[in-house]
Amino acid sequence: MLIPVDELKKRPYSLVLAYPRPEGEVVEHRIEELKALGIAYLDFSGRKEVSGLKVLGKGCVGLMVAARTSGGREVAVKIRRLDADRESMAHEAEMLALANSVGVGPELLRHTDDFIVMEFIDGPHLPEWLSSRPEPGDVAAVLRALLEKCRRLDEVGLDHGELSRAHSHIIIQARPGMLPEPRIVDFESASTFRRPANVTSICQFLFIGGISAQVALFLGKRDRNAIIRALRAYKRRRGLGEFQDVLRACGLSNI
């Protein structure tokens, strides 16, 4: 449902724009911000719901909504909640820009204190994709690519912070003529001040806890102790050799 930006002052749209307290001045200011960012429409569609309106996601910091630019491009907009534990989206935008520098995350397009405009990524979350019964070879390729992306985040010192419970943080993007690609999203908890643990966290999620039973249906059971040993060695040094040992322990070294 495409709604022009000027119509967002009306309820229930204003509640999404300035959740959870859509006061007049705040709503008007945010409408002008969206216009300055080149946003012409919000598209109320997605998996989640706020006040009867469909959105892409709802978190502690913001609401994620599909949108269209004045040039017709489909994008995603993260809208800062008024009750968020931060006064600006600048830090999250900075973390996303750093992830982009190593080819990870949705492309950051523009941002203000209240909004982040980014690439729209369409596709199922990883557990949902696995439930669709993809080919085991595709599953192995996707997981290998995911671990590679996590290593790149480790190398630039960026810890995502949510990958040990990554049910909604990995979207599988399918494009014609290409293998499915895992896309890591939602960097609101990311930090460069923590020791990065992206490879360790995602391996725990995929092969030890999390969705390990689901993954095993495609790749077979893995030696949990061997993975833990490889992860401990990787955590100490984080070198290429240690990462390759992690891949071997996970059964992904020959993909």
Q: Report the pLDDT value the prediction gives residue 113, as an integer from 0 to 100.
A: 96
| Boundary of a domain, candidates 85, 119, 153 | 119
Mean pLDDT of 243-247: 98
Look up the domain containing 187 and give its range. Answer: 126-249
Domain end, chosen from 99, 119, 139, is at: 119
Do both 14 and 112 map to the same domain?
yes
Q: What is the pLDDT of residues 62-74, one digit of tens each?
A: 999 999 999 999 9
255 found inside a domain: no
The residue among 183, 164, 167, 186 whose CA lies nearest residue 175 is 183
157 φ/ψ sector (left φ>0, alpha ψ -120 to 50, else beta):
left
Within this chain, do residues 86 and 47 fall inside the same structural domain, yes or no? yes
Q: Which residues pair with 173 in a beta bridge?
A: 181
Residue 236: its pLDDT value, please? 95
φ, ψ for residue 62, nearest 5 deg: -160, 175
Q: Are residues 134 and 245 in the same domain?
A: yes
Angle 23-188-206 (CA atoms, 0-180°, nearest 5)?
140
Q: Are 42 and 31 in contact (CB under 8 A)?
A: no
Token pair belonging to 46: 């997605």
Tell which of 54, 87, 119 closes a domain.
119
Q: What is the pTM of this model?
A: 0.95
Cβ–Cβ under 8 Å, residues 171 and 129: no
Q: What are phi and psi of 245, to 5 degrees?
A: -65, -35
Q: Coil, helix or strand for 222?
A: coil
